[in-house]
Amino acid sequence: MNAIAPYLAAIHLHDLLQDAEVARRAKLAESSQPSIRAWRRRLGRFLAFAARSVDPSIGERSSNRRGARAMAA
C-alpha cells in the first residue's frame, strides 16, 4: 500500500484541482448573467408600456436617445 500512496494522493489532488476549476468557471458564468430578476424586467417593461400609452412621445424620445448612443458608439 505504501508504494501506491503517492499515486493515490496525486489522483486525489488532481480531482480536487478539477473540482476547484469547475467551481471557478461556474462562479464566473453566474457573474456574467444579468443580476436583475426576470419579474423585475417584466415589471419595468410593463411600466414603460403604461407610460407610453399615457404619453406616446415618451417612446419617441427614448428611441431617439438610444439611436444617438448607438451612432456615437
Q: Tens digits of per-residue pLDDT, 3-61?
A: 899 999 999 999 999 999 999 998 887 766 666 777 888 898 899 989 888 887 876 66
52, 58 contact by CB (below 8 A): yes
Task: Please report the pLDDT score of residue 1 as a whole number.
Answer: 63
Task: Please report the pLDDT score of residue 70 as a whole number.
Answer: 47
Rounded to a whole number of angstroms, the distance between the first and last alpha carbons of the chain is 65
d(CA 63, CA 57): 10
Predicted model pTM: 0.41
Task: Please report the pLDDT score of residue 35 as a whole number.
Answer: 67
Rounded-to-10 torsion of CA 28, 29, 32, 33? -140
